[in-house]
Amino acid sequence: MAHLPRLKESLGADFIVVNGENAAGGRGITPKITIDLLRAGVSVITTGDHIWDQKEIISRPRPNGDPFIDSEPRLLRPVNYPAGAPGHGAIVLETAKGKVGVINVQMRTFMQPILENPFPAVEAAVAEMRLQTSVILVDAHGETTSEKIAVGRFLDGRVSAVIGTHTHVQTADEQIFPGGTAFICDAGMCGPANSILGRSIEPIVNRFISNLPALFPVAKGDVRLCGAVVTIDETTGRALSIARVNELISESPATPPGA
């Protein structure tokens, strides 16, 4: 969070999307963290299967009486939750360069809870959003590379970028599909570099060896900041380039890992 202004300037970023589902001690996100990220310059916060881990997201009402996630549309939950679920799965924001849309969708393979089929859900959300803008980013939150690639190919030419999240490990498959959609299977984690997916190494190794339950505390030490920068033609919505961001920051992290 503290490095966001520097990154915005150095990368020339106009619009920043952060997956914040692990921002609260590695599980979920709180209203305070949401507000802090937005104040730091984040445009939209996406999430995934850990969105409900911190109950304040639902239980803490805003002054108007609505649950926090209902009254803060810039905090998204997956769009393929059944009708009536709290919160929003998509948003369109006005910017200095035109309207930008963001859709959060969760895959189903090896994921809990199993949500509605992501393909028709995201297709419907994209169709509705394209009535307002052709500049659309999709966060495809999922476990398997095949399912995320399939969603990217499915949406090629209809959205500007499909960025995968959830597995915490940045992939090296950044590309632009034939229809003009930028894609990467996983943008990577912002969290402790000397870790296993952001957690302390020894307890996880011991768990694999013993099969016994164990606590997995967030690791300490240097932080690796990962992500992707996509350049988009704001007139056509086609991606012009995509590049990985992978930076080692030598300090003790003030915040837990994000997906």
Q: For residue range 194-241, list pLDDT tens digits in order.
A: 999 999 999 999 999 999 999 999 999 999 999 999 999 999 999 999
Residues 184-199: what's their mean pLDDT?
95
User: Which one of 3, 50, 141, 166 is the catalytic residue?
Assistant: 50
Residues 124-128: what's their mean pLDDT?
98
CB atoms under 10 Å from CB of 171, counted, come to 16
Class of domain 4-249: alpha beta
Q: What pLDDT sits at residue 238?
A: 98
Percent above pLDDT 90 for the chain:
85
Instruction: Answer with the residue of higher pLDDT: 66 or 48.
Output: 48
166 included as an active-site residue = no
Confidence label for 250 from pLDDT (cuts 50, 70 and 90)? confident
